Structure 1
């Protein structure tokens, strides 16, 4: 739930002349891919110097490692983020203890990385551990506690467990409003997540009402190109799509895609997701050739960046199979969807709603194959 603010600060170094001293003390609000690369290299160099001079488990070294993990995550480098965050968690548990707030924060960041990698069981286990420790030691109103609750709700949402997600999100929204205030970025983010859950439940009116409130709050507090603001615009595009307002949905979706390409680069996972969302809007308008072109691009990018078995890759396989079916490419559609079914059974489980939907498609399509 939290924005990864630690990546905004420059890595400290114990040398008399820190590496890449021309970098600013804090990263710009919306860094370019080139700025991220420079920041990443500076942190790697600073971490080596700090580890050599103060030790790999010094507070300074662990702070730089945690910051580097955020830089990786901001760029969508989930495997690199997971690896370094696992190390930080292990070291902080050893040095500070598992109940320390800094340890719990790092555990939460690792769990969020697992969600991004589709490693939901590991994420859920870690999030439940954080909630139990934090609520006992710090209380339910402490940021570590309600952050973990919000993150667990997101994990449920990703797995299609909408009722469980809603129950947690409603509770977290009330806590955030009371503790942080209604205009705090984290409060608004949780409200946006709740709107997504309502959409998934088919409660479009309730979701749209929250999204309008969220949009107004973002306009007051964030620049239009802020990642969280863009996520809200993307969610709003989804709502417009579900309402059948295709022109509005396309305009919003295209704006998000073009902005992310410019600010994050074409290969960033968030950019690729926005391309996939635009393809879905094309499909809803029966512009299947346009959708196919984007979906092929998305699937190849996700296979390369996320791996064949990642849930997002499997969703793209499912979508492309449906597009091929609509274009009359029956054999290609059935072959791809059959592959998707087997992978989803393994990765999501045989009873997951997405798995069942893919199975239904294969069953239906097989009946009418010549």
Structure 2
């Protein structure tokens, strides 16, 4: 991209060093119409990454730019100030971006462009769901560097609520990526964003605020996923107490905190502490959001999980079935939450010895998770482990072992060797091999 500009400078006997690059830029800049210059400055706000053109249009609209974007884009590409990639994606050279940002500061509308850019990016961050399917991860990945740009470079041009939305969006994206195979697992990637979110909320809102409670809750959930239960519990309790103080005892956020604290208690096998919290959360949600709300389905599922842990199978089954039907009705037949309900109901049937009913549900949950979340997601490892456990109970060791091996390898890579899920799968494989010994 710069080579063509520099070639033109050679003809003009201008140096091709650092000053030559700046001179080449100035040569092109002076030839641009004001509208094209404005678009170029808007583009400079994006991160040094692939820029989807739909995102540019969104930022231009938020900045109230009413000229022909496509025509001005063509000029920038033709003059080597913007590189065209594939599928309507574009990118700036780092030196060009630096020079454009200098020009941006000279524009009277610089603050308007920064504000519009941030509003557009935050609007996308807000749409990132709490649980991402694989296709959603692929769709969102292109905007992640630009969301990070807002949270680091342009904090002064976003409101308190917008900053929190951007940080939470980043956290959700990295959390949904459970298939990353780098040395750092996904929770090590997301931890700085959640910690930054907590620090930012405290700095902007004070020590006691609903956004601070939400940040505490999110960080606690992350610790819980890592198996760091002792680190998660005080944060869950702090979030619950803060929410009760701020919004009263009857509020959906309080129900969420009760539910989350109860799930942690269940994971710690503190069943007597978990049950009243789950029942309280369920009844509160029914009163506040209605019997058919997805939050009610979540509470039904979680209470069923507790009853199953206590071998109260006859109480758990109708709750699992009700949650499954509610999720199918609201989310459709192909959704990660539906896969979770299928998996949980199958597990209940397994413990009851109803193997012929459990197997097709386990298989359905496994295939759905592979399709929606990707072949290497931690939830896929859970499904592989559960299907292997079912085969092991039936003495089908040759069928069970490869599933355990696959699940263990996946859990080690994604969660680490000391994660509770990894330890459980490893123990299951050891038990299987002991049973197969003559």
TM-score range, shorter chain: 0.7 to 0.9
- How many pairs does the alignment contain? 316
- Alignment-derived partner of residue 239 in structure 1: 348
Deviation at 1:290, TM superposition (A): 1.3
Contact 2:220–2:235, Cα closer than 8 Å, also in 1: yes
Contact 1:50–1:61, Cα closer than 8 Å, also in 2: yes
Encode CA deviations 1:238-257: one digit per residue, 9 max, x unaligned: 11111211121110000110
Partners in 2 of 1:27 and 1:123 — Cα distance? 24
Partners in 1 of 2:129 and 2:251 — Cα distance? 29
CA spacing shift, 1:16–1:57, aligned 2, 3 Å: closer
Partners in 2 of 1:287 and 1:276 — Cα distance? 14
- Alignment-derived partner of residue 68 in structure 1: 170
Say what the alpha-carbon RMSD is for the aligned residues. 2.4
CA spacing shift, 1:119–1:263, aligned 2, 3 Å: same
- Alignment-derived partner of residue 81 in structure 1: 190
- Alignment-derived partner of residue 154 in structure 2: 53
Contact 1:230–1:256, Cα closer than 8 Å, also in 2: yes
The partner residue of 2:42 within 16, 31, 44 is: 16
Partners in 2 of 1:247 and 1:56 — Cα distance? 59
**Which stretch shifts more, 136-145 or 247-256?**
136-145
- SS of aligned partner of 1:279: helix
Partners in 2 of 1:304 and 1:56 — Cα distance? 39
Deviation at 1:167, TM superposition (A): 1.6
Deviation at 1:49, TM superposition (A): 4.7
Partners in 2 of 1:192 and 1:45 — Cα distance? 37
Partners in 1 of 2:314 and 2:336 — Cα distance? 25
CA spacing shift, 1:61–1:41, aligned 2, 3 Å: farther
Encode CA deviations 1:47-71: one digit per residue, 9 max, x unaligned: 2156323449853344212111011
Greater Rg over alpha carbons, structure: 2
CA spacing shift, 1:121–1:31, aligned 2, 3 Å: closer
- Alignment-derived partner of residue 371 in structure 2: 262
Structure 1 regions of 5+ residues with no counterpart?
1-14, 330-370
Partners in 2 of 1:175 and 1:199 — Cα distance? 22
**Which stretch shifts more, 262-271 or 198-207?**
262-271
- Alignment-derived partner of residue 42 in structure 1: 143
- SS of aligned partner of 1:16: helix
Given the alignment of the two structures, is residue 106 of structure 1 paired with residue 208 of structure 2, yes or no?
Answer: no
- Alignment-derived partner of residue 33 in structure 1: 134
Q: TM-score, normalised by structure 2?
A: 0.68
Structure 2 regions of 5+ residues with no counterpart?
1-40, 59-123, 179-185
The partner residue of 2:401 within 292, 297, 300 is: 292
Q: How does 1:313-324 map to 2 (within 5 A)?
A: 313-324=422-433
CA spacing shift, 1:178–1:288, aligned 2, 3 Å: same
Q: TM-score, normalised by structure 1?
A: 0.79
The partner residue of 2:274 within 155, 165, 169 is: 165
**Which stretch shifts more, 56-65 or 123-132?**
56-65
